[in-house]
């Protein structure tokens, strides 16, 4: 218990400060959330989502994993994305990487690290896509910094490939996609200016899908409509 005493004390001080500033603060939060942003970031302890963005409780929905990846088989990430877009109605989705990312550095090496190697394959896929540019950078530190940036760009592209984003883009107020990189050395966020609309249009002929129209007649159990492939 003694190991978390400082956490509990910090919490009490925070509660007292918030109540002093705004006695209704916690009551408003208790009524629900309507965040404007979805933050998809790295789990690195040096990159606190609210701290680096200046947002407070209720303003940002957050998903974090090693190296801020958007993986299409990651049900955790997809569940967060769908809830943020379809239920909370977030306006902006931020994929936020950071220079000095240990996951990116591990993926750039030829070493095995255990279970995480399966996750790092997703970063190595980014290296494969941009191999010529990456190999053309002689300085290792600069090469890793560029890999961090390219990883963010590709994760924004992965967002655009999901049917969650594709369907949202057909609505009246689709979310905007952004790629950012945080520099731990100076605290500054860099906008990579990834245009989500351009990304979606660029890949639509490959990844674009449509929701099928409901069948006019019920389908018998054990059969499949003709236009739906049986897997």
Hey, what are 140's tokens? 């290792």
**DSSP states of 92-109 as a string?**
EEEEEEETT-HHHHHHHS
Q: Is 63 a catalytic residue?
A: no
- How would residue 224 be classed by pLDDT, with cut points 50, 70 and 90? low
**What is d(CA 114, CA 107) in angstroms, rounded to the nearest whole number?**
12
| Among 44, 63, 157, 178, the one annotated catalytic | 44
pLDDT in tens, 148-199: 999 999 999 999 999 999 999 999 999 999 999 999 999 999 999 997 777 7
Please, which residues have CB within 8 angstroms of residue 224's CB and are 6 or more apart in sequence?
230
SS3 55: coil
Q: Is 139 a catalytic residue?
A: no
Range in 9-18, 81-90, 193-202 with the lowest mean pLDDT: 193-202
Q: Is 193 a catalytic residue?
A: no
| Among 22, 28, 46, 176, the one annotated catalytic | 46
CB 183 within 8 A of CB 211: no
- Among residues of the chain, what percentage have pLDDT more than 70? 90
Hey, what are 56's tokens? 């407070």
Per-residue pLDDT at 210: 75
Q: Is 42 a catalytic residue?
A: yes
| Among 42, 130, 145, 157, the one annotated catalytic | 42
**What is d(CA 197, CA 189) in angstroms, rounded to the nearest whole number?**
22
Domains belonging to the chain, first-starting first, are 31-198 (3.40.1050.10)
Length of the chain: 231
162: left (phi over 0), alpha (psi -120 to 50) or beta: beta
| Among 22, 63, 92, 101, the one annotated catalytic | 101
Q: Is 74 a catalytic residue?
A: no
Cα radius of gyration (the chain): 21
pLDDT exceeds 90 at position 3: no
Average pLDDT over residues 43-53: 97
pLDDT in tens, 105-127: 999 998 999 999 999 999 999 99
Distance of CA 79 to the CA centre of its chain: 12
């Amino acid at each position: 218990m003694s190991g978390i005493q400082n956490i509990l004390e910090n919490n009490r001080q925070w509660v007292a400060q918030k109540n002093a500033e705004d006695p209704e603060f916690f009551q408003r939060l208790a009524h629900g959330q309507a965040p404007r942003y979805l933050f998809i970031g790295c789990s690195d302890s040096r990159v606190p989502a609210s701290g680096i963005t200046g947002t407070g409780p209720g303003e940002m929905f957050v998903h974090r994993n090693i190296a801020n990846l958007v993986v299409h088989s990651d049900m955790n990430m997809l569940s967060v994305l769908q809830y943020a877009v379809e239920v909370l109605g977030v306006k902006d989705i931020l994929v936020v990487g950071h220079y000095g990312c240990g996951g990116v550095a591990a993926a750039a090496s030829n070493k095995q690290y255990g279970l995480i190697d399966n996750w790092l394959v997703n970063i190595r896929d980014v290296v494969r896509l941009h191999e010529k540019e990456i190999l053309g950078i002689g300085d290792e530190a600069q090469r890793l910094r560029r890999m961090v940036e390219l990883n963010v760009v590709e994760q924004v592209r992965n967002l655009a490939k999901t049917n969650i984003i594709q369907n949202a883009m057909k609505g009246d107020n689709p979310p905007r996609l952004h790629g950012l990189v945080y520099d731990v050395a100076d605290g500054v966020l860099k906008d990579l200016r990834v245009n989500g609309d351009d990304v979606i249009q660029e890949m639509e002929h490959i990844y674009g899908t449509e929701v099928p129209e409901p069948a006019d007649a019920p389908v018998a159990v054990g059969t499949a409509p003709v236009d739906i492939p049986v897997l």
